Structure formats: C-alpha cells, structure tokens
Structure 1
Amino acid sequence: MQEREIAPGYAQAEQSEVSSVLRNTYGLLSMTLLFSGVVAYVAQQMAVPYPNIFVVLVGFYGLFFLTTKLRNSGWGLVSTFALTGFMGYTLGPILNMYLSLPNGSDVVASALGMTALVFFGLSAYVLITRKDMSFLSGFLMAGFWVLLGAVLANLFFQISGLQLAISAGFVLFSSAAILFQTSAIIQGGERNYIMATIGLYISIYNLFISLLQLIGVFSSND
C-alpha cells in the first residue's frame, strides 16, 4: 500500500518539475529571441561588418562554455543573454547581405516564416505525442562530425555546390535537434532550463541561417 502511494506521488512531482522546466525554457527562449532580434536589427541598421571568423569562434564558444559553467546560478542568465546577443550581432551583417539583393526582403521573410513553421510544428508534434526522441542522439553525433568536416573542406577547398549541401544538411540536423531537445525536456532528461534554452536557440539560429542560404540561392536562379 505504501509503495502504491509513493509511486503516484513521485510521478506527480516528476511531472511538475518537467512542466516547470518546459515553462521556464520557453519563457527564456522567447526573451532571448526577442533580444537577439533587437541586437540584429541594430547591427543591420548600423551596417556593421561581419566579425573575423576567429572572433566569431572565440566569442561563441567562449560564451557557450561560460554559460555551461554558470548554468546553475543567476549569472547563467546574464551569460545566456550575452551569448544570444552576440549571435544576434553576427546576424546583422548577414541580413544586410541578403537585403541588398533585388528580392532580399522576400528571401528574409520566407526564411523567417519557414523557421517559425518548422520550430512550432516539430515542437507541437513532440509535446502532443510525448514521443521519446532519444534515438536521434546517434544521428546527431554523426551529423555533427559530417557537417564539421564538410564546413572545413569548404573553407579550405571551396568545392562547388558544397555550401548548398551543407545548408541542406544543417536544416535536417537542426530539425532533428529540435525534436531531440524538446523530447529531452518532457522525458525528464534535461532539467536545466538555461541549457535547454541555449540548445533550442542554437538550433533555431542554424535553421534560419541555412534556410536563408537555400532560399537565397534558389530565388537567385529564378
């Protein structure tokens, strides 16, 4: 009898914690996306140049590891906004490049709309079905190394058509990551809402940039 009373109580506490992480994650994600968008708009309006690749790498990974280290403290929120603000800053020059095209505003709007559709669609699917997507971990690990190798090859050898393949690969990778990360929250595998927010934010950022590149290429061929 006692075991029967403990089990439902534990399940209820577990579900309460999952709901709390989910609520905090989407709340923080909304704020970071808004903040990042404002920073991107300011950078775009000021026509700032795209930072050196080494500045981008040091800035991103430095702030990412700092956020990971501070994830259990209030300073983790500060570093989260610093990271997403920095990524918004790098987005400004990219937007300017596409907005300078004849149909640039349509390209940006289409990429933004598709990103929102993919994110909300995949998130809703996991939240409604409650399916465990942990089986995607192997695909994500393999995809990471394949994409990293492709990016390095394209950086040094400038292979024709490879950038397009990389963008398509990142769309699939980011979509799978959104499924995996959302599932990890509702299955109780991710208990830290700061890390959950960062994971989803990076997936959304990569998805938007990749769709921007794909739509930009295909629209220019019309």
Structure 2
Amino acid sequence: MNYSASTAIQDRVSFVRSVYAWLMGGFVVAGVGAISAPFAAALLFPLLGRFFILALILVFYGTFFWANAVSRRKPQNRFAYAAFTFVAGILAGFASIAAATQSGPGIVLAALGMTAADFLVLSLVALVSKKDFGFLGGFITTGLVIALVGSLIGIFLHVELLHLMISAVIVIACSAKILYDTSLMLRNGDTGDAAGFALSLFVSLLNIFLSILRLLGGRRD
C-alpha cells in the first residue's frame, strides 16, 4: 500500500513537472514569435494589406484548436503547441510594440512583471494550500461570457471605459482559471495530458498579459 502511494506521488510530481516544462517551452517559443513580429509584418502586410491582422487572428484560433485537439497525440502535440505559441507570441509582440510606442517600453516590462507575479502567487497558493478550487468553474464561465459579450458590444460602441472594464474582468476570470487549472492538475487522476494543461495555463497568462497591457496603457485625459 505504501509502495503504491509512493508511486502515485512520484507520478503526480512527474506530471506537474511535465506541465511546467511544456509551459516554459511555450514561453520560449512565444518570445521568438514576439521578436519575429516586425519581420512577419514586413513580409506579410504587403501581400495581405488590411486583412493581415484578420488573417493572423484566424491563424491564432486555428492553431489553438489544433493544439487542443491533438494535445494527447505525440508528436503532433509538440508541433501544434509550438505553432500556437509562436503565433500567440507574434500577436503579443504587436500589442507590445503598440503599447510601447504610445506609452514607452516601461509599460511592457510592467505588464510582464505583473503577469509573472500574478502567476507565481496564484500557483503557490494552489500548490501549497492543496485546496480544491473546482468551485470557481461557474465564476470563470460567467466572467468569460461577460467579457465576450462586452467585447462584441465594444466593436460598435467605442467607449474606452467599457474596454478597460472588459480587460479587468478578463484579468480576474483568467486569474481564477489559473487557480482552477492548477488545482485540477494536482487532483485529476488523468496524468496523460500535460500539453493540454500547459495550453490552458498559457492562454490564461496570455490573456492576463494583454489585458494588463491595455489597463496600464488606457487612454489618459
């Protein structure tokens, strides 16, 4: 019995390490994507013109669904995850360039630091407390639905305060999602989807970073 319990603990620790290894790898690829953003724009914008951003967003969602669908399949999951994080890095790179141009490069470093601090604190809370944060599921869904509806309304109503409120909701909902995913990672009996957990954490962190960037760079009177 003790041997079985020890083996289960070792398997769980190995699984958690694998998830964070995937996540760190995603950050590295996203960093390469962010650095490549100006080159991608120079190469593709002359071909696509005003449809460049739309095409990039479509590729972003396409690679996300691909990575999610093959998260358990090797080696497809590696290629899909790398493709998604690279495209996500390009989008984050464009957002960072726009924010730095408007408010200075310090705003990007501040957003990165706040995102990293948020992730570190929330991860430690979930890992140390070992509390089940499954009860946050309904709150997360509600927050993301509100953010989605608000974003659709924001397309027609160009109200800066509305966009800032949506960004705040996304930060709160995605922070709760990190608690939820980390708790599930520690409790879920299935340890065969490290790539899927890493993908979910990566998306939450990406949304938090972009939303904090928007909040810090909000229009000033």
Percent identity, aligned pairs only?
A: 30
Counterpart for residue 83 of structure 2: 82
Amino acid of the structure 2 residue aligned with 1:25: V
Q: Unaligned 5+ residue runs, structure 2?
A: none
Correspondence for 1:214: 215
Structure 1: tracts of 5 or more residues without a match: none
Q: Is the 8 A contact 1:40 1:88 kept in 2?
A: yes
Give, in angstroms, the shift of residue 26 of structure 1. 0.6
How far did 1:106 drift? 1.3
Give distance in 1, aligned partners of 2:37 and 2:105.
Answer: 17
Q: Say whether the 8 Å CA contact 1:184–1:190 is kept in structure 2.
A: no
**Superposition deviation, residue 171 in structure 1:** 0.8
Deviations 1:53-76 (A, max 9, x none): 542442222212211221122110
The match for 1:22 among 16, 24, 32 is 16
Q: Structure 1 residues 56 and 148 mapped into 2: Cα distance closer, same or farther (>3 Å)? A: farther
Residue 10 of structure 1, CA deviation: 4.3
**Structure 1 residue 38 and structure 2 residue 39: aligned?**
no
Pairwise CA RMSD: 2.1
**Change in CA separation of 1:189 and 1:104 when aligned onto 2, cut-off 3 Å:** farther
Could you say if the C-alpha distance between residues 195 and 91 of structure 1 is closer, same or farther in structure 2, counting changes exceeding 3 Å? same
Q: Secondary structure at the match of 2:132?
A: coil
The 8 Å contact of residues 147 and 170 in structure 1, kept in 2 or not, is answered as yes
Residues in 2 aligned to 1:123 and 1:78: alpha-carbon distance in whole angstroms: 27
CA contact (8 A) 1:167 1:211 kept: yes
Give 1:96 deviation, angstroms.
1.3
- In structure 2, the residue matched to 1:169 is 169
Instruction: Tell me how far apart the structure 2 counterparts of residues 31 and 76 of structure 1 sit (CA, whole Å).
Output: 13
Q: TM-score, normalised by structure 2?
A: 0.88
Q: Distance in 2 between the 1:173 and 1:190 partners?
A: 25
Question: Residues of 2 paired with 1:83 and 1:137: CA distance?
Answer: 25
Q: How does 1:46-57 map to 2 (within 5 A)?
A: 48=42, 52=52, 54-57=54-57
User: What SS does the aligned partner of 1:100 have?
Assistant: helix
The 2-side partners of 1:36 and 1:51 are apart by 22
| C-alpha distance after superposition, 1:117-162 (max 9, x if no partner) | 1101110111111111101111111112111111111012323411
Matched residue type, 1:122: L
Deviations 1:70-94 (A, max 9, x none): 1122110110010000111112221
Is residue 186 from structure 1 mapped to residue 186 from structure 2 by the alignment?
Answer: yes
- 1:180 deviates by 0.6
**1:136 corresponding residue in structure 2:** 136
Counterpart residue number, 1:63: 63
Query: 1:43: how far off?
Result: 1.2
